[in-house]
Chain A
């Protein structure tokens, strides 16, 4: 008993001939069906190339356009030839011209010999398939499809929509339960002949002629009526991408294919010389009798599909430029924005970098330049600190920074004196952790040596900007993790909020803050605010600072004011 191969081919004739010869020489009968559209000269060449082989036959030719009946007709015709001419054949294997045997025929034969009654065909009910092109499952069987999906897509879609609207349904022949599956199967003589010699075949064929993509449903449906033992999987390794197009194998897949232990793979790129040489060459020493195990290849291709459909979060590049809100992650990783901290605390960045073990930048969006951590003028990814470049495209600046430093959390200072273009972008980014001490921008003004009228003007300007910014952070569209304290609130009890923020940045450190950054001197700050008020400006963002009282800060003179006991 042996296995016979039916090959449907339409391109790359020399490869089809090579594979046919391989099987035929190893005592497996081969029936070849060539697409009617193949040129006569090519077809004659194929016949000539194989004329020395006595167990090769050629069947009647049909036009095999994708998604049409021709492919089924071709398989029927060629199978009939196989069953009629080679009585020794027990299993018939349907293969394409771009298939390649990965394991020696003897192993396939032994595998099938130990399962003499089993039909290998993927056959799944229409309710259970999730992979169909165009989203049509059951409707493949109940609608009409006079237009080509590839060439007349608009007419195709419009006609489907019309039939849905009208509620049109074709009547199925009695006893038919639609099943779908991979078009590459391996059936026993019993089952196959029962399908082909079915007395109702004419009627059933007439019905399937108008089903969409019948090559994925005809045998898959019929086998359920006649086979006692269906193993619902294909022996051919064949993977499809997100648009229903088969993945192609190249020379660099050699090891992967070798280790898959599958019997036959498709589609092979016709110029993959190394694959053809290796697998059609002298016998390889494989682990005999291993079950097919395409797991690695599955992973490779499912990763490719994921890359094509979802992409890498936070990446903006020449072939991935998502529209707003379709980014699948605006930025690549979580980051922290501190507003007002470096004004309230002395050397806050240094302290933060040490305590949370992250990269703590200064004001990245400062008007003069981007203050990268450590005073760098260039940063990871060769980012420039030029304010002009940054402000030319602030979104690229931030997304690049976060992308370039994947694996290391970035923290930076921000404030009303900085470029504000990204307020909305950061507010809408779930990766952003934004902590605001509102009104802290007044502290540098308080310490500055400027004329009071200038200070007043500047304070009014900064307050306006920060109010707007806080308004954005409080909007219902904000997705960032936002915490806002007024200056007076924060100064009263700085340790608790600091601890909360740090815990979120470095959750695994799990220790209490033992060392707080040094608070700026706020003596007389209340009076400073009162002076602003007296000059007609209304400072509101700082919270409530009594004019005559020094804030609760008894240890201000000590080096480390807040040691938690």
Chain B
């Protein structure tokens, strides 16, 4: 192996750890219930900003899957998200006014919290608009999956982002508190994903879906990455590098088989395209706190002004995880 390469990776990992440690000061505790965490509990790590209307369903979805504790960072919400979360019995909440971008889009904060509270636990790092589905998620709780991963000596689990969208303009059907967002955003792109291998970080780089099709058709290389590794059995050596797209040490990014077989994987259903999206895009543009100068949001805004319909006649209507597995978006691997 190339010593120089390994050294670079090591430095990269150490740097991220240092950044996480340094930025712990930016977090102010709102409510700390981490003493209630039992040794085997599955934990969720999230940062959010002004997502009040989504929270009820988010918490319910993951509680039903068997998540026992939510560790959340509120990035200066003004819509009551903070107060709502602080009142939940299984939420530990921190707040910060610091920049989202300067914290590597929240990764530094979450790296710090995961290292402090997540070691030895299965940690699921998701945004409040991301909902995990995995093989058998309708009949087996998350604990069944993590037990199986443990017994297979696997420490990470891959779940690609699947952008969900409604038929018609995103603003046509308003989303209300507590509602299942996929009653509105029912559709997804089933087979237009571009995959490349990143040899440095050993992960796959996946792009595509409605965002590439609609907003980045002229500059596909700028389309957002969809590969994610949200479920990790945390230990002190681990850091997320770039959102949850990749982890270090890089061996943990090997969530795919390269000799023809399929490993088990899931999907993160992404409920971004609801009526809340237009307001969000406008706000984020102004703050300029998102990836690559909020380029993504700029592209959306230019297009959203024209009230585009992400739906096309080849859009697939979501049914269940089995459908996703048949379409080849996720796999059961050897879990049966």
Docked pose: A319 CA to B160 CA in angstroms? 9
Number of CB contacts from chain A to chain B under 8 A:
178
Instruction: Decide yes or no: A400 and B191 within 8 Å by CB, A319-B262, A319-B265, A388-B217 being known contacts.
Output: yes
Q: A467 interface residue, CB < 8 Å from B? A: no
Docked pose: A304 CA to B218 CA in angstroms? 41
Determine if B328 and A382 form an interchain contact, defined as CB atoms under 8 angstroms apart. no
Give chain A interface residues in 190-220, CB to chain B under 8 Å: none
Determine if A319 and B220 form an interchain contact, defined as CB atoms under 8 angstroms apart. no
Determine if B263 and A308 form an interchain contact, defined as CB atoms under 8 angstroms apart. yes
Determine if A318 and B256 form an interchain contact, defined as CB atoms under 8 angstroms apart. yes
Q: B312 interface residue, CB < 8 Å from A? A: yes
Determine if A389 and B195 form an interchain contact, defined as CB atoms under 8 angstroms apart. no
Determine if B260 and A328 form an interchain contact, defined as CB atoms under 8 angstroms apart. yes
The closest CB in chain B to the CB of A308 belongs to B334
CB distance from B8 to the nearest CB of A (A): 23
Contacts of B213 in A (CB 8 A): 378, 382, 384, 386, 389
CB distance from A418 to the nearest CB of B (A): 18
CB distance from B320 to the nearest CB of A (A): 13
Give chain B interface residues in 206-263, CB to chain A under 8 Å: 206, 208, 210, 212-213, 216-221, 227, 255-263
Q: B43 interface residue, CB < 8 Å from A? A: no
**Number of B positions contacting A (CB below 8 A):** 60
Determine if B263 and A381 form an interchain contact, defined as CB atoms under 8 angstroms apart. no
Out of A251, A308, A382, A400, name the residue touching B312 (CB < 8 Å).
Answer: A382
CB distance from B82 to the nearest CB of A (A): 34
Q: A230 interface residue, CB < 8 Å from B? A: no
Out of A245, A321, A326, name the residue touching B204 (CB < 8 Å).
Answer: A321
One of A157-165, A309-317, A508-516, A554-562 contacting the partner: A309-317
Instruction: Decide yes or no: A326 and B191 within 8 Å by CB, A250-B140, A318-B206, A320-B331 being known contacts.
Output: no
Determine if A326 and B258 form an interchain contact, defined as CB atoms under 8 angstroms apart. yes
Out of A245, A251, A382, name the residue touching B139 (CB < 8 Å).
Answer: A251
Determine if B330 and A317 form an interchain contact, defined as CB atoms under 8 angstroms apart. yes
Out of B151, B258, B315, name the residue touching A321 (CB < 8 Å).
Answer: B258
The size class of the interface chain A forms with chain B is: 35 or more
Contacts of B263 in A (CB 8 A): 308, 319-320
Q: Is the interface of B mostly helix, strand, loop or mixed?
A: loop
Docked pose: A81 CA to B180 CA in angstroms? 58
Instruction: Decide yes or no: A308 and B219 within 8 Å by CB, A250-B144, A271-B143, A378-B313 being known contacts.
Output: no
Contact with B along A224-251 (1 / 0, CB 8 A): 0000000000000000011101011011
Considering residues A245, A317, A326, A397, which has the most beta carbons from chain B within 10 angstroms of its beta carbon? A317
CB distance from A151 to the nearest CB of B (A): 11
Determine if A389 and B194 form an interchain contact, defined as CB atoms under 8 angstroms apart. yes
Contacts of B148 in A (CB 8 A): 248
Out of A245, A327, A403, name the residue touching B191 (CB < 8 Å).
Answer: A403
CB distance from B317 to the nearest CB of A (A): 12
Docked pose: A307 CA to B257 CA in angstroms? 11
Determine if B136 and A382 form an interchain contact, defined as CB atoms under 8 angstroms apart. no
Contacts of A251 in B (CB 8 A): 139-140
Nearest 7 pairs of A and B residues by beta carbon: A381-B191, A308-B334, A319-B265, A304-B336, A382-B189, A393-B194, A404-B191
Interface CB pairs A-B, < 8 A, 21? A250-B136, A252-B136, A300-B336, A311-B262, A315-B328, A317-B193, A318-B255, A319-B330, A320-B257, A320-B263, A321-B257, A323-B258, A378-B213, A380-B191, A382-B190, A382-B192, A384-B217, A389-B220, A400-B192, A400-B193, A403-B328
A interface list, Cβ under 8 A from B: 241-243, 245, 247-248, 250-252, 269, 271, 300-301, 303-305, 307-312, 315-323, 326-328, 378-384, 386, 388-389, 392-393, 396-397, 400, 403-404
